[in-house]
Amino acid sequence: MAAQWLTRESLPLILLRKEDGLFVGGSGLMCRDWSVPFFEIGYWVRTSLQGQGYITEAVRAQTRFAFDMLGARRVEIRMDARNMLSTRVAERAGYTLEGRLRHFVRDVDGKLADLLIYALTAED
């Protein structure tokens, strides 16, 4: 991760709760193509803290950073189509569902799963 940070391939973040510094989860921007520039946001949150808005707040902040500081033209969030919590995060953060890739990835049980792609562009 340190090497990816230095080369700006990935900008990982540790998420801490403001009031007490409790570890909430992790997130980050992955550069998919600097020539565009095009990024993807990934994230995870402690199960006990799901649904409390922490990830939506992190996604909104990273989205602003990508567009304002990195000159992004496109930012994506991808998730398993069954992950309703992640779809709600993307929608609350203003992302638009652009597509569903059927049988695109294997889930943790090795079964084929659909992948959803949400995106924002600089023109949105």
pLDDT 10s digits, 83-122 = 999 999 999 999 999 999 999 988 889 999 999 999 999 9
Q: Which amino acid is at 50?
A: Q
Q: Which pLDDT tens digit goes with each residue over 29-84?
A: 998 888 889 999 999 999 999 999 999 999 999 999 999 999 999 999 999 999 99
Going across the sheet that includes 10-16, the strands are 10-16, 23-33, 38-45, 74-80, 112-121, 96-106
Number of domains composing the chain: 1
Judge whether residue 2 has pLDDT over 70. no
pLDDT confidence of residue 119: 97
Half-sphere exposure of 32 (CA within 13 A, CB side): 14
Residues 103 and 32: their CA atoms lie apart, in Å, by 22
Show the domain range for 12. Answer: 2-121
- Cut 0.85: pTM above it: yes
pLDDT confidence of residue 5: 65
Pairing of strands 74-80, 38-45: parallel
Instruction: State the greatest distance between any 2 C-alpha atoms of the chain, in Å, as a whole number.
Output: 42
SS3 call for 39: strand
Instruction: Give the CATH number, domain containing residue 87.
Output: 3.40.630.30
